[in-house]
Structure 1
Amino acid sequence: MSMCYVMQLSKIKMASSVGVRKLPQYLKEIRILLCQRSSSSQGVRDWVEKCYVDLKKQNPAFPIRVRECSGIQPKMYARYDFGQESCADLENMNSQQVNETLYKFADSKPQ
């Protein structure tokens, strides 16, 4: 195996694990809605491809629901203790912005 190939593999592995961490217990569920084809959902689709698997590996029992529906605007919902919910519009965000939105939900414990 060439050294170049090994370096590329390690870069891919490092990039995929950047920003993945345990989600707090007061956060009960994340729901993501997206369109399979619209350009406004492209960043969400990219996030699912790049980040979802690593996030699930780090949080195997945590429910992360990804729902596709034609023609809808992409959104993320966070459900907390006592049924409290927050929502964020993901329209035209890139995958990094989607990840940041998820961790904003994780960092903001409702009162």
Structure 2
Amino acid sequence: MSFTKALSPALREIRILCSQTGAASAGTRQFILSKYPVIKKHNPDLPVLIREAQGTPARVFARFERGVEKHIELDNMSASEVETKVGQLLSS
């Protein structure tokens, strides 16, 4: 998914959890560095929360309208795999 356009108005929040130094979260950290500015540029009012904690498995949570929340596990994925999985999550 390309993040170069506004996301669905039904999307209320994105939360990204990962480890600051863990190898399993490397792809997620790279995704954050490369895609966060693009996501915020096209969705300035959308809360994108990034939570880093030692030993935390890499995951992304998406909260939609009416309290619907979905998540995916991102451990041991490359940045391109993370981008694909996050795109699928946000478009569902």
TM-score by length of 2: 0.92
What are the Cα deviations for residues 78-110 of structure 1, in whole angstroms up to 9, with x where unaligned? Answer: 1011111111000011111221222212211xx
Could you say which residue in structure 2 is the equivalent of 1:19?
2
Aligned residue type for 1:19: S
Instruction: For structure 1, list consecutive stretches of 5 or more residues without a partner in the other structure.
Output: 1-17
Is 1:58 aligned to residue 42 of structure 2? yes
Relative contact order, higher structure (CA 8 A, sep 6+): 2
| 8 Å contact kept, 2:26–2:76 | yes
Aligned residue type for 1:29: E
| Higher deviation after alignment, 49-58 or 35-44 | 49-58
Aligned residue type for 2:81: Q
Larger Rg: 1
Could you say which residue in structure 2 is the equivalent of 1:8?
none
What are the Cα deviations for residues 23-44 of structure 1, in whole angstroms up to 9, with x where unaligned? Answer: 1011111100000010000001
| Higher deviation after alignment, 93-102 or 41-50 | 93-102
Number of aligned pairs?
91
Distance in 1 (CA, whole Å) between partners of 2:9 and 2:86 is: 14
TM-score by length of 1: 0.77
Q: 1:78 aligns with which of 39, 43, 62?
A: 62
Moved over 4 A (4+): none
Instruction: For structure 2, list consecutive stretches of 5 or more residues without a partner in the other structure.
Output: none
